Amino acid sequence: MLDQLLGAAKSQVIGAITEKTGMDAGQADSAFPLAQDSIKEGIMGAIGDGNISGIMGMLSGGGDLASNSLFNSISGGFITKLTNKLGIPESMASMVSSTALPMLINKVKGGVSNDDGEVSQEGIMAALGGGDGLMDAVKGKGMDMLKDKMGGLGGLLG
């Protein structure tokens, strides 16, 4: 499901990248899967580290992603991928990151939110287990840890 959520925003994100950064459509199209991978790696890394609060903060925050350490880590990884794999300058990579990642994070937030617009445990679990390969990476101990951590958040989830 996470791949589906991210993929649904592809044309919108590519359009925004080309419009706001001047990058050509071919490069923007090449940058999109790097953004997807960066988000998935960041979320999975946070789960592995037990940083569920970072995920919740990133997805339920009031829009100030720049103050979220998980988002900053994802952004840094994405910028590195853009410079290393696409050979674009770091300044351009930073512009691409600041354009693409907030759009994609908001798409994920919408997909994991309940009917009241609040990020829900069920939504996150469904996004991670949507058959796109993420569940395999989290099976067993990792999934149990996520359930335990999410259950330990008290009344934050509703």
Query: In the beta sheet, which residues pair with residue 119?
Result: 113
Give the range with max mean pLDDT: 1-5, 36-40, 134-138: 36-40
Averaged confidence pLDDT in the chain? 82
- Cβ contact 54:98 at 8 Å: no
Q: How far is CA 67 from the centre of its chain?
A: 15
Q: How far apart are CA 133 and CA 3, in angstroms?
A: 9
pLDDT at 133 over 60: no
Q: Between 141 and 63, whose confidence is greater?
A: 63
Hey, what are 85's tokens?
A: 């794999």
pLDDT at 142 over 70: no
At 113 the three-state DSSP class reads strand
- Cβ contact 108:2 at 8 Å: yes
Predicted pLDDT at 150: 61
Q: In terms of DSSP H, where are the helices of 1-129?
A: 2-7, 10-21, 25-48, 52-60, 69-85, 90-112, 121-128
Sign of the torsion formed by the C-alpha atoms of 65, 61, 132 and 152? positive
Q: How far apart are CA 64 and CA 146, in angstroms?
A: 24
- Cβ contact 83:17 at 8 Å: no
Predicted pLDDT at 62: 64
Predicted pLDDT at 48: 85
Residue 141: Cβ within 10 Å count? 9
Mean pLDDT of 1-10: 86
pLDDT at 121 over 80: no
pLDDT at 148 over 60: yes
Q: How far is CA 104 from the centre of its chain?
A: 6
Predicted pLDDT at 126: 72
Name the least confident of 11-15, 26-30, 34-38, 149-153: 149-153
Q: How far apart are CA 68 and CA 26, in angstroms?
A: 30
